Amino acid sequence: MYQYNDFDEAFVRERVAQFSAQVQRRIDGSLTEDEFKPLRLMNGLYLQLHAYMLRVAVPYGTLNGRQMRQLAHIARTYDKGYGHFTTRQNIQFNWPKLKDVPQILSDLADVEMHAIQTSGNTIRNVTADHFAGAAKDEIADPRPYAELLRQWSTDHPEFQFLPRKFKIAVSGSTHDRAVVRAHDIGLEIVEKDGERGFRVLIGGGLGRTPIIGKVAREFLPEADLLPYCEAIVSVYNLLGRRDNKYKARIKITVHETGLEEISRMIEERFSQIRPAFTGVDQQLLGQIKDAFSAPDYVAKDDDAFQIAYDNDPLFRAWVDTNVTDHVRDDHAIVSISIKTPGQTPGDATAEQMVAMAELAESFGYDELRISHEQNVILPHVARADLPEVHAALRDVGLAAANIGLISDIIACPGMDYCALATARSIPVAQDIALRFEELKLAHDIGPLKIKISGCINACGHHHVGHIGILGLDRAGVENYQITLGGDGTEDAAIGTRTGPGFAYDEIVPAIERLLLAYLDLREGEDETFLQAYRRVGMEPFKAALYPEKEKVDAA
C-alpha cells in the first residue's frame, strides 16, 4: 500500500494546523461565516440539516486495518458510533462538533488520512475500481495512476478555483466497476500492440444534466497521462461557464464546444505543455507502482472451504452472492454487504469497522476497499479462510448475502441529513429491502441495481440504476420519480423516466408492481431485469406502474 513520504506527512500536518487555527478564529469571532465557509469546505466540513458533516477521503477506496480502526475510533469518540460510506468511496461522519474537527483531522493524519479536496471546485478524491489488484479481468492495477493523479492534483495551484468540482475515475479492467463514464475524466487502462495506455473519456456526469462521457483519445500512452489530464483541466479552466453554476461542469463545456473542437484545443494545449514533463512524473510512478505490488500470497489448501460449502447452506448462499473470483485460484474477493435489509445503506458501526479491520489483518493481507456501491471489500482472502471470515461477519451482523441483488441499493443521505435534499432516500431504500425480504423474491429477481437520490444532484447515481429513484418536492409533499434502463458499466446508459412520480407511501408498491411485471414477462430465469427492459422497452412496465391510466386510455 502507498505510504506517505515526508512531503505528504508535512503537507497534511500543516493543513491540520492551519485549519485548527481557522476554527479557533471562527469560534472567537475573528472570522465571519462568509470567510470561514470556503475554508471549512476545503477541509471537507459541511453544515447539513441537523449538524455538521465531515467527509473524509479514502483515496481510490483503499485503506488498511489501522486506518479502518481509526475511523471506528473517530465514530465512537466524536460522533454517534457509526460512519456512512458513500458513492465516491469516502466516509462521512454526520454529527461532529465544530470544536472537535481539528482533533479529528489530527487523528486522521496519524494514519495518513485527511479530508482535503473532498469538497469545493477542485479535483476531488480520485476513485478507482474497488477490485483493483485482485480482479481476474484486470489489465493493470489502476491505483498507481490514481495515486499519481492525486499527488499531481493535490493543492495544484492552477486547479484550486475551477469553474466547478472535478471528478476523475480510473479502471484497469475490461468490466467497468468504477462508473468511469459518469466522470469528468474517465480513464480506462488499455493495451495496444503490447504497449500500455489509456482510453480517455471526458464530459461524463450525472446531476441535473446527465451525460455519458465521450472518448477524447482512444489510446493515450502511459507516459502522457499527467500532461494530457493537465491539458484537459486547463482547457476546461478557461472555457468553463463560471457565469452559471448549472452549466459549469465540463460535461456542458464539452457539449457546448463540441467534442471535435475541444479535443483539438486539448491536443494543442497538450503539445505545449508536454515538454515540461521531463520524466520525473514517470520516476515517481515507478516508485508508486512498487507500493502497490501484490501481497505475498500464502497458498492454502481449500479443503475447509469445500466442506463448509457442501454442508452449510448459509455459507454457500453467501459465497454464491458475495464472493468473486480472484486473480489467483486459491484466493477470492469478498464483498462485505453494508446493506443488511432494513439498515441504512452504507452505514457501519464502530464495532463493525473494528471487526472488518481485524478480518483484513488476520485474513486479508491488511487491505480493505470501499466500493462506490457503499460496500466494503476484502480484496484478497484465501478460499480456505472464507468459512472463518463468514462466521466473524455473522457475529457483527455483516453477513447479508445480497451483493448485486435487489436489496443492495445505493442511497444518498437524502433529506434525513442533506441540506440540499428535496425528499428522503434512506427510508425508501430500507422499505424496499425489507419488502422484498418479506416476499422472498430477491434471488428470483436476480441481478438488479436500484439507486436512489434525494434530489436532482444525483449523488445516489439514480440515472445509472437499472431502476432509478429520484426524490422530489412536489408542492410540499415528497414525490418519487422512477427511471428505467440506466447502466453504470462499460455499456453505460442514462435511465428513462416512466411518467408521473409516486407519493412516499406509493413508491414501494410501485417498485413491487414493476418487478412482478418483470418476473411475468422475462424469457427465462437468465434474463435479467435490464436485459428484459432492453428487449421489451418501457410499455409493459408503464402498464404495471400506472394501471389506472391504462384503463382510462383503453376506454
Partner 1 sequence: MPRAFTPKVVTANRLLEGDAVWLTADDRWTTDMSEAELIEDEAVSQDRLLFAMGQADVVVGAYLADAKAGEDGPEPTHFREAFRTRGPSNYAHGKQAEA
Which cell numbers in the block locate residue 60? 481510490
Measure the CA–CA gap between 236 and 104, rounded to whole angstroms: 34
When the beta carbons of 417 and 518 are compared against ligand HEM, the nearer one is 417
DSSP H or E stretch at residue 555: none
Which residue reads 474537527 in cell numbers? 101
Measure the CA–CA gap between 133 and 335, rounded to whole angstroms: 15
Measure the CA–CA gap between 229 and 232, rounded to whole angstroms: 5
> Is residue 458 within the footprint of ligand HEM (CB under 6 A)?
yes
480 with 423: CB under 8 angstroms? Answer: yes
Beta bridge partners of 128: 170
At closest approach, how far in Å is the CB of 192 from ligand HEM?
Answer: 30
> Is residue 126 within the footprint of ligand SF4 (CB under 6 A)?
no
At closest approach, how far in Å is the CB of 44 from ligand SF4?
Answer: 14
When the beta carbons of 142 and 414 are compared against ligand SF4, the nearer one is 414
At residue 277, what is the residue type?
F
Applying CB under 6 A, the span of 19-27, 81-89, 218-226, 466-474 interacting with ligand HEM comes to 81-89
Selection from ligand HEM, partner 1, ligand SF4, none that 454 binds (CB < 5 to 8 A by kind) is ligand SF4
> Is residue 412 within the footprint of ligand HEM (CB under 6 A)?
yes
Q: Which of 455, 464, 515, 532 binds ligand SF4 (CB under 6 A)?
A: 455
When the beta carbons of 43 and 321 are compared against ligand HEM, the nearer one is 43
The residue count for binding ligand SF4 (CB under 6 A) is: 13
> Is residue 449 within the footprint of ligand HEM (CB under 6 A)?
no
SS3 355: helix
> Is residue 37 within the footprint of ligand HEM (CB under 6 A)?
no
- Any idea of the CA torsion for 374, 376, 380, 385, to the nearest 10 degrees? -130
Of 323, 329, 343, residue with least CA distance to 301:
329
Phi/psi-derived region of residue 332, left when phi > 0, alpha when psi is between -120 and 50, beta in every other case: beta
> Is residue 382 within the footprint of ligand HEM (CB under 6 A)?
no
Nearest residue to ligand HEM on Cβ basis: 207
At closest approach, how far in Å is the CB of 90 from partner 1?
Answer: 19
Which cell numbers in the block locate residue 452? 436512489
Q: What is the DSSP string of 188-250?
A: EEEEETTEEEEEEEE--B-TTS-B--EEEEEEEEGGGHHHHHHHHHHHHHHHS-TT-GGG-SH
Q: Which of 46, 60, 131, 198 binds ligand HEM (CB under 6 A)?
A: 46
> Largest alpha-carbon pair distance within the chain?
76
> Is residue 106 within the footprint of ligand HEM (CB under 6 A)?
no
When the beta carbons of 427 and 447 are compared against ligand SF4, the nearer one is 427
Q: Which of residues 402-431 bind ligand SF4 (CB under 6 A)?
A: 412-414, 418, 420-421
Which spans of this chain sit near ligand HEM (rule: CB under 6 A)?
46, 48, 53, 86-88, 90, 92, 164, 167, 205-207, 249, 412-413, 418, 420, 457-459, 461
Which spans of this chain sit near ligand SF4 (rule: CB under 6 A)?
412-414, 418, 420-421, 453-455, 457-460
